[in-house]
Every structure is written in C-alpha cells, then in structure tokens.
Amino acid sequence: MAPTRRFFLKASVAGLAALPARASAQSSPSKVMEKYVDVDGIRTRYFEAGSGENLVLVQGGSIGSMSYTADMWDLNMEGLGQHAHVWAPDKLGCGYTDNPRSDSDYTMKAQTQHIYDFMRAVGIKKACLVGLSRGALPVARIAVDHPEMVQSLIILDSRTLAPTDQSIGNEPNPFYTRLTANRPPVPTAEYVRREPDANSYFQSHVTDEYIERLLKAALLPKSTEARNKMKRLGDQYRSDSGRMKAETHDMIKEGKLKAPTLILWAYNDPSAPLELGLQLMDIIAPAHPQTQMHILNQAAHYSCRDQVDKFNRIVTSFMKDSAKA
C-alpha cells in the first residue's frame, strides 16, 4: 500500500469564509486522508474520514470520466465523518484508480465488483452505501447480491438505475449529448467545467481549484487510455449496464433488497429529472416497507455540493435511524 498522505483544499481561509452556508460544511479538511489500496491487483485511490459505522460514497461517471472522481465528496467528507467512518473510493477506471486490466472488464459489472472488493480489502463488513448517478446501480446491486454487507442504501439522482433511461440503448441522453459536443482532443479546464456547472444549482462550489484537480486526473495517461478505449467499447459498457439494471430491478421485485432504502433526489436536476426518481420509488417501495423518498429543493445533480449541510444531515439521520431498525 502506498504511504498515506493528507488531502487538503488549496482555497484560502478567506475564500472559504466568503462561501455561502450551503457550501461550507467542513472546517478543517486536513482531517480527510487520501490513501491507496491494492484491490485484487487494481491500485485504488480513496478518501477516508471519521470513525464509527461505515458509510461508503460512490461517485457517478463512466470509465474515463473527466468530471467524476472521489473528489466530488470533498465538501462532505469531514462533516459526515463527525457521525460515521466515511470511505470514498475512485471507481474502476476513474480518477486515480487503475483502469480495467482487460477490454472485457470495461463494464458496469466490473466496476460493481471492484467496489465490493474494495470494501473487503479495507475491512468493511457492513456499511451504508451511497451511490450517485452511475454509482447508484453498483451499490443497489451489491445490496441485493450481498445483503449481509449493507446496513442501508441511499440512491442519489440515478438515471442509470431508474426505469426510464435514454442513456442506455440506441438513444443517448440529450442533456449529455449537448454537453459533450465538440470535446477537445486534450482536456481543458473550460471543457471539464462544463458538466459540474450545468449539473449544479449553485455554481459557487465549482471553484477553479476543484476544476484543477479534476483536470489533473483527466490528463493522466491512464485516463486518456480509458477514454480512447470507451470510444470502442462504449456499446459494450451501455449494454452491460442495461442488462444489469433489468436484473437488479427483478431482484428487488423478488424481495432480495433487504436494506432500508432512501431515494434522495434533487428537485432541480436537469440531467436526471424528478420523474425518474418517482419511477424508481414505484419499483422499490412495494418491495421494501422501509423505503423513503426525500426531494431536495434548490439542488441539482450535484446535490451533495449544492446543499452540503442539508445533504449531510439527511444522510446521517437516515443512516442512524436504519441502524436502529
């Protein structure tokens, strides 16, 4: 395992103080640790904070994504760490985590297996799993495949898990089609900023420093390799996601979801409209009596960054209540 090193934000104290309350949930980011662990031969980066019951945060994005790394939880880590032992790994092929070892592993299934293997590698025996967007299908699948490891489940704005999903199949999601048009051959800060800007209700959290970190990861040779491979293997990835979603829905309807589940959806999400969350509620609620839905106003796809304090309170409250059940 590589040496542990401190994770910190470079923004000045004055800059942090100037941010509105909705985007200032943490005090001293130095309490959040950036680490690496070997996960079945895959060097995996993750952030860790706090102590107590385990809380695993899984970001969205596909393999080679420019805009999704575990850094997206940086405003939440310390606040959540006051109530739980928080873990936030980079998914397989994302951020600083290694790419899949073979072309056949450029799939949602492989990313799901990697998250499960990560939990085992760091010694997590039971946890509350939180998945955003394309991170929600993996955590939901782990919940039905390994119910003994999941204390509770929180789903955030996931078009990929919701029944209606134009991003899987022949018709792409028009929001992302427009957003990714004219992608430069080499990532730029302006291009990397597009997605978090468009998917946020408050852009105050999309700082130059945050974009610099995303850009640094996007410029890694392994990230370039992953994006190039996804040009060729994207249909494989989408097809696998579609099969996995259908199987997971069937397993939920069969009663294999044992964990209390919270669907936390942003009212103002442009890429995953609220209607998708309601459709997902229609699937999960009849299958598990301890299913809840919370709609967060003045928040978009990046609700964890748009409404930091409210997001943290909702997550920790549900996690604690579920542990008592």
DSSP notation for 171-219: S--HHHHHHTTT--SS--HHHHHHHHHHT-S-GGG--HHHHHHHHHHHT
Q: How many CA atoms lie within 13 A of 42 on its CB side?
A: 30
DSSP 113-141: HHHHHHHHHTT-SSEEEEEEGGGHHHHHH
pLDDT of residue 323: 85
CA-only gyration radius of the chain, Å: 18
pLDDT of residue 124: 98
| Structural domain containing residue 288 | 5-324
pLDDT of residue 165: 54
pLDDT of residue 324: 81
- The DSSP code for 87 is E
Query: Mean pLDDT in runs of 10 for the chain (325 residues)?
Result: 34 29 36 95 98 97 95 97 97 98 98 98 98 98 98 97 63 74 90 95 97 98 97 96 96 97 97 95 95 98 98 97 84
**How many domains, in total, are found in the chain?**
1
Please, what is the Cα angle at 159 between 154 and 161, to 5 degrees? 55
C-alpha–C-alpha distance, residues 164 and 279, integer Å:
8
pLDDT of residue 175: 83
pTM score, two decimals? 0.89
pLDDT of residue 182: 83
pLDDT of residue 239: 95
Residue 237's CATH number: 3.40.50.1820
